[in-house]
Amino acid sequence: MSELPQEVEDDTGSYQSGLPGFLGTIDEWIAKTEAVILAAGVILMAINTCANVIGRFVFGESLFFSGEINRILIILITFAGLGYAARHGRHIRMSAIYDALPAKGRKVLMIFISLFTSMVMFFLCYHAYGYIETLYSRGRILPALGLPIWWIYIWAPVGFAVTGIQYLLTAIKNLTSKDVYLSTGVIDGYADTETEV
């Protein structure tokens, strides 16, 4: 048996929140914003890297700011991707025990996992904010771009907070529904892939 999560999608194939009303609208808006940020970040990193390689090998001179831009984009993609992965039930899971449990056991374990992960994300958010305060107080700047270093780390607490909220909402979704949800929009499902054609 292999796990095949079933993501809730609308007719256009885009993400549809499993949350009702206003919360669902906000969740969908955040999901679209994250998708745009991730896509733009990856494209900009590719363009920046290609431009730097062309500059180095064709014109004999690298872009002096290329490394800093890629550093900023990696941080942005990493922390924007945390919430995106949680929303789509894509985080790595060790599921040997989970898979062996009956549906009610999986539901209880998923509620515990979601609440515990939410608490960890809020804990990390708190400490990431403290780290940004430390960077701000030191007044360091990026050498090439001249930007304050604390600006590029703002995505860390934001990403942790969004991910913590997403896991908290997943726990609530599992408490209020009959199915087991990996996230607010992804139902846990099983299928035998050996018999599928």
Report whether pLDDT(65) > 60: yes
Q: Which has the higher per-residue pLDDT, 160 or 176?
A: 160
Fill in the amino acid letter for 42: V
Domain, as residue range, for 174: 18-190
pLDDT value for 16:
65
Summarize the confidence of residues 186-194 as an average pLDDT: 62
> Is residue 105 domain-resident?
yes
Beta strands in the chain (DSSP E): 2-3, 6-7, 181-183, 186-187, 190-191
Per-residue confidence band for 3, with pLDDT thresholds at 50, 70 and 90: very low
Per-residue confidence band for 197, with pLDDT thresholds at 50, 70 and 90: very low
Q: 6-15 — which CB contacts under 8 Å span 24+ positions?
A: 6/186, 6/187, 6/189, 7/88, 7/89, 7/185, 7/186, 7/187, 8/185, 8/186, 8/187, 15/87, 15/88, 15/185
Fill in the amino acid letter for 40: A
pLDDT value for 195:
44
> Is residue 13 domain-resident?
no
**pTM score over 0.85:** no
Per-residue confidence band for 15, with pLDDT thresholds at 50, 70 and 90: low
pLDDT value for 101:
86
> Is residue 131 domain-resident?
yes
What does the pLDDT look like over 118-145, one tens digit per residue? 999 999 999 999 999 999 999 999 888 8
> Is residue 77 domain-resident?
yes
pLDDT value for 127:
97
What does the pLDDT look like over 29-62, one tens digit per residue? 888 888 999 999 999 999 999 999 999 888 888 8
Domain count for the chain: 1
> Is residue 61 domain-resident?
yes
> Is residue 42 domain-resident?
yes
Of these ranges, 17-31, 112-126, 167-181, the one predicted with the greatest mean pLDDT is 112-126
Least confident of 52-61, 143-152, 188-197: 188-197
> Is residue 141 domain-resident?
yes
Q: pLDDT above 70 covers what percent of the chain?
A: 85
> Is residue 10 domain-resident?
no
**DSSP 8-state code for residue 93:** -
